[in-house]
Structure 1
Amino acid sequence: MAATSFLALAITSVAHAQSAPAQSGSPEQPGTALEAPSSEIIVTAQKRSERVNDVGMSIQALSNVALSNAGIAAPQDLVKIVPGFNSNPTPYGSNVFTLRGIGYQETTLSAAPTVTVYSDEVPIPFSPETAGVALDLQRVEVLKGPQGTLYGQNSTGGLINFIAARPTDNFSAGGEVSYGRFDAVDINGFVSGPLSSTLKGRLAFSASQGGAWQKSYTTNAKLGERDLLNGRVLLDWDPASNFHASLNVSAWRDHGETPAPQFFGIQVLTPGAELLMPPGLLAYPVAPKNNRAADWDAGVDYHRRNSLLFSSLKLKYDLDEDVSLTSMTSYQRFKRNQPVEGDGTAFQDYSTIQAGDVKTWYQELRVDGSFGGKGNWLIGGNYEHDTVFDQFRILNRDGSFSHVLLSLSPLTILNLPGNYEQTDQKIKTVAAFANVEYPLTDTLKLQGAARYTQTTRDFFGQAYDGVNGNTAFFFTLLQAQLRAAYGIFTPSGQMPGLNDCLSLGAAPTFLMGCRKDRLKQDNVSWRVGLNWKVDANTLIYANVSQGYKAGSFPTIIASTQAEMDPVTQERVRAYEVGLKSSLFDRTLDITAAGFYYDYRNKQTIGRYADIAFGTLLKLLNVPRSRVAGFEVAASWRPVAGLTINPVLSYTDTKVRGQFLNFDYVGAPADFGGRAFPLVPKLQTSVDAQYRWALAENLNAFVGGNLTTQSGTYTSFVPNANERVPAYQLVDLRVGVEAGNWRFSIWGRNVTDKWYWTSATRINDALVRQTGMPRTFGATIGFHY
């Protein structure tokens, strides 16, 4: 059905195109469907302005027009148009970004991502901080493969640089208002222009309200309301011809509701505890087969209280015609307070309340120049300091984990309604880097780059009762029992209170306490590349690069101190060859790349045989693995007014050698030879749009997007309960443009495909993270 709908759209578009007059208008004007050929987009991937087709690395540059047409409102939406990119929401309320199979399925607030998000070259260190980064953009640049040489935060998968629209030389203003299904309202706008002869400014804002799309299938209650406010002030100051300053102050606050997962079965975590659990939980009805259906705990306010303040100052001083000095300074403050429904039922089997506070200072200083007009060089260094407070309040009053049978005569049951897991981390990163690009001949260019990085993490972790004393009492009994099993019958003398650390130490004493540790590591990332400019419109390149991602400590259920062990840094050595070309009188732009990654110490969530509670989650390193694949993307303009953008990616992942761990039910398994979790082998998308003139100064357009993704699993071991089936989504749009005004009607997931992006067991519940149902609406926008 989806493929048929899109084929009909494409045929109709081509039929119109054959008789359509040439299009008119400015490709630079926001709010129109026109844009320059993709090969002409100017990027700053190497921290200087270049045509994207002249850069010998895998880059996808997306203009503001392309982003608007595809309905890109947040980083996770890029899955529609970026080959090899994937995003999945975790059961703990955050999104994991993956590029070419390199992702990090971890939910700790302080976990460094494998795909780092940047705002105007400044790193946003942690994924939960990226909710408002897509405001008022000029373009987005997606760089694939290890990015440890030129950018401030090492990442093994790649990076996404969101580049804000700049202040304009003349007064300009614009905005959009959208109304959609579920009473969703989106408003955004900007005002830009000169403030003096040397100072320009731009104010941008957006508001997203309403849209409660989930519906309880037992009570008809609704969930998923949006309430996101976002704003930015940009100032560009040019007091002299050789000096430029740019100030960015932005902030967002998110008071929307965290969505609930979809429940599809019970699988009791603690065998034998069924008699102690509420009968209604054991017999809970399975959710209907649609995206909207879900359930959650009654009487809980699921509104988030999250916010980010982002500020950056970029100073550039030209020392002479060839040499420039650049400084980038940033301060960021993120606050989190969000409840997350975990089990998808009206019982409190598992849910969390997550608190967090992150402060980040970032400073970069670099000098760049050219070799007398032949080639260029860059050297610099950066420093980053993060302080991260991360707290999970675990609520599991009704779960099997929380019912402890102390005695049959008389019957004594100890209920453990929940507890707290909390970490404090201080992270210091220091780096020095250099990049050289030099032409060997008129058509052959050599590139080389290296970065030395040292990262130090100071960690303090604790698990404590914090509720009613039952958990602390249980750990006192458990400690005595474990000590007795090792022949130690003397009391430990520990009687923890509500706020004392409960995590058990090593045998045979099992002394309870907090975990204090330090992880200090360094590495050298590098890249060597060769670019062959075959002709003015064709580039062939080959790269070998090596990148790292820092190790980290988890915020995790920590009945023992060993569960807070860190993972060490991971390493990817990447081999890539690629082609970029403009063909047929520059009506077809095509890029293609093949890659192979040698992956060492991949960081992942695995499981740990807990001495008291069975198999629990734990951070682990996979010693050896590999990724191989290819990507193809094109932009085709066969006739005036018609643009077709197909993309395809194939990614094959594999654990090499032996890797012993446990599956999701706690059975030991060898994951050797298995594919990575949540990495589809095949991803494709086609975005097509046709635009034609109806009358003078009046144009119409029709377009759509077809996205497909092959099936995968949420864990290394394929099984029915963690299966993520293949899916196909269709978006459509149609509208008119009159002068500075634009009106469109759009639909997303128009076939109302029921799909999900992950599935697993959370405590005793089997749950899915479903996608969005069919949505539709209208948008009116203007540009002055």
Structure 2
Amino acid sequence: MIRHMKSAVRLTSSALALTMASQVCAQEAQRPSTDLASGPAAVFELEEIVVTAQKRSERLSDVGMAITAATGDQLRLQNIRDVNGLVKIDPSFVVTESNYGAPVYSIRGINYNDFSLSASPTVSVYQDEVPYAYPALTKSATVDLQRVEVLKGPQGTLYGQNATGGAINYIAAKPTSSLSAGVDATYQSYNQVNLGGFLSGPLSDTVGGRIAFEVDRGGAYQWSQSRDGRLGDKEVYKGRATFQFDPSDNLAATLTFNGFRDKSENRPGQVFAFIPTRPQNIVNVPGLSDVTLAPHSNRATDWFTGVRPRLDQKFGQVSGRVEYGLNDDVTLTYLGSYQRYRQRDIAQPIGANVEQIIYNNGDVNSLFQELRLGGEVADQRLTWLVGANYARDRVREDQIQNSRGTTAVYAFYAATGLAQSSFANTGRNLSVSKAGFANLDFNLSEQVSIHAGGRYTWTDIDHGGCTRDVNGEAFAVTNILQQTLQSRAGINNFVPAVPGGCLTLGPGLTPIYLEQELNQGNFSWRAGVDFKPQAGTLLYATISKGYKAGSFPNITATTYSQLGPVGQESLLAYEAGVKSRMFGNFAEIDGSVFYYDYKDKQLAGRAVDPFGLFGVFNLLVNVPNSRVYGAEMGLKLRPATGTLVKMQGTYLNSRVQGDTPGYDGFGVATNLKGSSFPDAPKYSLLIDAQQDFAITEDLSGFVGANYRYRSGSLSAMATYNGFTSGAYSSPSTRLPAYGLLGFRVGVVSGDGRWNAQIFGENVTNKYYITKAQKFSDFVTRFTGTPATYGISVGHRF
């Protein structure tokens, strides 16, 4: 381990060396000359961001944890309009998507890629500290923002379970004391248009209001390989209304309504290898022999003729926050939220003109409540917080699959003339979570402070599910399979499957609707110490433990064993870091090293069909032991008037430890020992530079460039180096390294009321892959977006 830690240690040693160097000239730097203190210094000093990562307002540079924060203006400058765009500001953040299109978020290699709508994430998303139950619900979080905070490492103490990797907290812009309004519009390649705006102001002496909206349309950049057709148009509508009540000095309340409607076209992948599950059935599959491999183009794809992949999603939320000051030192806070989500999506992930279509229907009802009491004592040296919360999430999901375009469903075709071509994976999930928590921060002196906190969480999950018949073909095939398997086992226990009924075979090899429970508790905790050797410099060290709750899958299940739950996972994190402003506040470093001891990592795994008929099966598994260590470094510089340079780098080394038998994505038996984690590149880098300059007294300009680099990584657990099986061979499904270059050029009015810019992203049109996996008979890859250019304008009234 020591040998592997060298890169991490060197990175943070550089940060510490810079910090110590800054101390040598600190006193001179803190006594700027008269010329520097008036005018020019204000131009190129670094901006200070106030965050609420610890559920109270603090300067980012004073918080002893790894956080990336950006203001709403900074997000607009970089054309970041959704959670996926956070990859532009944090190199440790990775976004991919599940097989059916749901987003999967990863911080420092910690993620969970499952197919189910009810799959709880390892990176939780919040808006004003109110959690979104599942990643699919987060699209409206990014409207009209004050800032965003990306918190790294386990956040279970203050933010609850299911945040083993970290948490993303969006802070919405609040009502203003005077009337104000704004509008922003963007037009970019492939006729994509984005329009957003807000209106804010007082409604009375004690009530303020703010409404905001955003519309995203167009952008179809994908083209069909088999015919004349384009795909990928967006049609997303988002909105928020916020009302703030301040009836007295000790009482404040906020009521917020959020919602979105998404009718975009769903993005397929690209076929780059053909490995049939049952080669003898190729002749039975319509159109399979006509499929061609995709070229190396970010735009190439395909989909089944007559059925366009699309999203049909609705989300609505009402949330409230009430703060009541019991006295000058104690505040009572209540948070509450109710969320409803509905989806009726059509997905065709394989990217071929064959009949493999997934109708993904789901409904979510989520209730969250939190009550906490916090304050300060001992002349504000001790800050304390105690509270409890309750969450109740109900999910109904039906994944209806038309798989006539795959060889596996023709297993009994020769004998019966029937294909098990259409079926539905049905899941009903009720999760109830209760927790109590406490946190203390104590300033031992002006230089040293300590932190400690803990949370106990109890979660009850009731689940029912099976794979069921939908068109009258599958139940007949299941009856034949049931008779065949019972005959092999020497038993006579035939229970016929019926049209529309369950097909999953239980312990007695008869169809069942499987009902299960999973009840688990855990204690998350965090302890740390901060040391400030001088003004503007913070050294910190923390130890924390977080948990992610167990869950049930919603997958195609021939046998009941596939529907077993995965148990909760835990992550013990050790971290040390430095934050420092140096050389007269014109440079800033933010570095850390960390080590994660990972137990029972949850994984969407695979196993070979024990019946020998359908290739490989999906199921959930726990990986007993694994670890991650690494380092991060951020550097901001103002080397000259109007110049700002930001550099951020992340080093990760993730490994499964100990013998861990399993199967790779092709159903080949393997040992996961030594495998790195999916979506955990060893090296990630962000560089952003901007030069501001005066054009006239009332007009200024800017020019900027950015570069993002990510080293190679795995798309799924296990080492996929390709293999040859008979006449079929597979290329590696590793994700190659890539780098993306962008630019922006714009103008801003002297009073800041209006701005305009021209921008480009992936301007070299780099072909890069974000995910690669075997789907049925194909190996499919998902690619990034091609080169795009655009113009945006904004005005504040």
Q: TM-score, normalised by structure 2?
A: 0.92
**CA offset at residue 59 of structure 1?**
1.1
Aligned pair partner of 1:202 in 202, 207, 210? 210
2:44–2:643 Cα contact (<8 Å) kept: no
Asked if residue 371 in structure 1 is aligned to residue 380 in structure 2, the reply is no
Aligned pair partner of 2:776 in 750, 763, 768? 763
Asked if residue 305 in structure 1 is aligned to residue 304 in structure 2, the reply is no
Instruction: Identify if the C-alpha distance between structure 1 residues 406 and 731 changes in structure 2 by more than 3 Å, giving closer, same or farther.
Output: closer
Q: Counterparts of 1:776 and 1:268 in 2: how far apart (Å)?
A: 40
Long gaps (5+) in structure 1 = 1-20, 28-33
Name the structure 2 match of 1:728: 739
**CA offset at residue 351 of structure 1?**
2.5
Aligned pair partner of 1:752 in 765, 779, 783? 765
- Amino acid paired to 2:745: V
What are the equivalent positions in structure 2 for 1:621-660 lying under 5 Å apart?
A: 621-660=622-661
Name the structure 1 match of 2:748: 737
2:427–2:465 Cα contact (<8 Å) kept: yes
Name the structure 2 match of 1:551: 550
Query: Deviation digits for residues 579-619 of structure 1, max 9, x if unmatched?
Result: 00001111111100100000000001111232332321111
Aligned pair partner of 1:46 in 45, 50, 54? 54
Name the structure 1 match of 2:358: 352
Name the structure 2 match of 1:135: 143
Instruction: Identify if the C-alpha distance between structure 1 residues 394 and 22 changes in structure 2 by more than 3 Å, giving closer, same or farther.
Output: farther
Aligned pair partner of 1:281 in 280, 288, 302? 288
What are the equivalent positions in structure 2 for 1:232-243 lying under 5 Å apart?
A: 232-243=240-251
Q: Counterparts of 1:52 and 1:335 in 2: how far apart (Å)?
A: 37
Q: Counterparts of 1:88 and 1:618 in 2: how far apart (Å)?
A: 20
**CA offset at residue 665 of structure 1?**
1.8
SS of the equivalent of 1:706 reads strand
SS of the equivalent of 2:353 reads coil
Q: Counterparts of 1:371 and 1:491 in 2: how far apart (Å)?
A: 70
SS of the equivalent of 2:53 reads coil
Q: Counterparts of 1:302 and 1:472 in 2: how far apart (Å)?
A: 27
What are the equivalent positions in structure 2 for 1:15-30 lying under 5 Å apart?
A: none
Name the structure 2 match of 1:717: 719
1:273–1:403 Cα contact (<8 Å) kept: yes
- Amino acid paired to 1:465: D
Query: Deviation digits for residues 35-60 of structure 1, max 9, x if unmatched?
Result: 9734x211101111010111111111
Once the two structures are overlaid, the 10-residue window that deviates more, 128-137 or 419-428, is: 128-137
Instruction: Identify if the C-alpha distance between structure 1 residues 26 and 389 changes in structure 2 by more than 3 Å, giving closer, same or farther.
Output: farther
**CA offset at residue 567 of structure 1?**
0.3
Name the structure 2 match of 1:18: none
- Amino acid paired to 1:351: I
Q: Counterparts of 1:36 and 1:186 in 2: how far apart (Å)?
A: 33
**CA offset at residue 92 of structure 1?**
1.2
Query: Deviation digits for residues 512-560 of structure 1, max 9, x if unmatched?
Result: 1011000000000000000001111000000000000000000111111
Name the structure 2 match of 1:17: none
1:91–1:261 Cα contact (<8 Å) kept: no
Query: Deviation digits for residues 293-338 of structure 1, max 9, x if unmatched?
Result: 1100111133311011111100000001100000001101111111
Q: Counterparts of 1:729 and 1:206 in 2: how far apart (Å)?
A: 27
Asked if residue 341 in structure 1 is aligned to residue 341 in structure 2, the reply is no
- Amino acid paired to 2:500: N
**CA offset at residue 275 of structure 1?**
3.5
SS of the equivalent of 1:167 reads coil
2:194–2:217 Cα contact (<8 Å) kept: yes
Asked if residue 661 in structure 1 is aligned to residue 662 in structure 2, the reply is yes
What are the equivalent positions in structure 2 for 1:358-507 lying under 5 Å apart?
A: 358-372=364-378, 373-407=380-414, 412-467=416-471, 469-488=472-491, 490=492, 492=494, 494-506=495-507
1:646–1:686 Cα contact (<8 Å) kept: yes
Aligned pair partner of 1:57 in 65, 73, 94? 65
Q: Counterparts of 1:533 and 1:475 in 2: how far apart (Å)?
A: 68
**CA offset at residue 152 of structure 1?**
3.9
SS of the equivalent of 1:269 reads coil
**CA offset at residue 491 of structure 1?**
5.1
Name the structure 2 match of 1:774: 787
Once the two structures are overlaid, the 10-residue window that deviates more, 165-174 or 445-454, is: 165-174
Q: Counterparts of 1:26 and 1:190 in 2: how far apart (Å)?
A: 33
Query: Deviation digits for residues 166-219 of structure 1, max 9, x if unmatched?
Result: 111111111111111111110000111111111111111110011111111221
Name the structure 1 match of 2:4: none
Q: Counterparts of 1:299 and 1:245 in 2: how far apart (Å)?
A: 51
SS of the equivalent of 1:680 reads coil
Instruction: Identify if the C-alpha distance between structure 1 residues 42 and 554 changes in structure 2 by more than 3 Å, giving closer, same or farther.
Output: same
Q: Counterparts of 1:718 and 1:26 in 2: how far apart (Å)?
A: 54
- Amino acid paired to 2:46: P
SS of the equivalent of 1:596 reads strand
Name the structure 2 match of 1:72: 80
**CA offset at residue 281 of structure 1?**
1.5
Name the structure 2 match of 1:571: 570
Q: Counterparts of 2:604 and 2:269 in 1: how far apart (Å)?
A: 20
Aligned pair partner of 1:124 in 115, 128, 132? 132
Q: Counterparts of 2:617 and 2:484 in 1: how far apart (Å)?
A: 20
Name the structure 1 match of 2:19: none
**CA offset at residue 268 of structure 1?**
0.5
SS of the equivalent of 1:449 reads strand
Long gaps (5+) in structure 2 = 1-35, 722-730
Q: Counterparts of 2:657 and 2:132 in 1: how far apart (Å)?
A: 32
Number of residue pairs aligned between Structure 1 and Structure 2: 747
SS of the equivalent of 1:53 reads helix
Query: Deviation digits for residues 632-668 of structure 1, max 9, x if unmatched?
Result: 1122111111111110001110000011011122121
**CA offset at residue 107 of structure 1?**
2.2
Instruction: Identify if the C-alpha distance between structure 1 residues 523 and 36 changes in structure 2 by more than 3 Å, giving closer, same or farther.
Output: farther
Name the structure 2 match of 1:703: 704
**CA offset at residue 64 of structure 1?**
1.4
- Amino acid paired to 2:623: V
Name the structure 2 match of 1:15: none
**CA offset at residue 342 of structure 1?**
2.1
Name the structure 2 match of 1:155: 163
Amino-acid identity (%): 38
Two-structure CA RMSD over aligned residues (Å): 1.8
Name the structure 2 match of 1:783: 796
Q: Counterparts of 1:232 and 1:326 in 2: how far apart (Å)?
A: 22
Q: Counterparts of 2:310 and 2:605 in 1: how far apart (Å)?
A: 30
- Amino acid paired to 1:381: A
1:560–1:610 Cα contact (<8 Å) kept: no
SS of the equivalent of 1:150 reads helix
SS of the equivalent of 2:411 reads strand
Asked if residue 179 in structure 1 is aligned to residue 187 in structure 2, the reply is yes
Name the structure 2 match of 1:689: 690
Q: Counterparts of 1:730 and 1:429 in 2: how far apart (Å)?
A: 44
1:594–1:629 Cα contact (<8 Å) kept: yes
Aligned pair partner of 2:46 in 18, 21, 37? 37
**CA offset at residue 358 of structure 1?**
0.4
Q: Counterparts of 2:130 and 2:442 in 1: how far apart (Å)?
A: 27
**CA offset at residue 153 of structure 1?**
4.2
**CA offset at residue 23 of structure 1?**
12
SS of the equivalent of 2:662 reads strand
Q: Counterparts of 1:36 and 1:224 in 2: how far apart (Å)?
A: 42
What are the equivalent positions in structure 2 for 1:507-546 lying under 5 Å apart?
A: 509-546=508-545
- Amino acid paired to 1:486: A
1:563–1:608 Cα contact (<8 Å) kept: no
1:203–1:234 Cα contact (<8 Å) kept: yes
Name the structure 2 match of 1:4: none
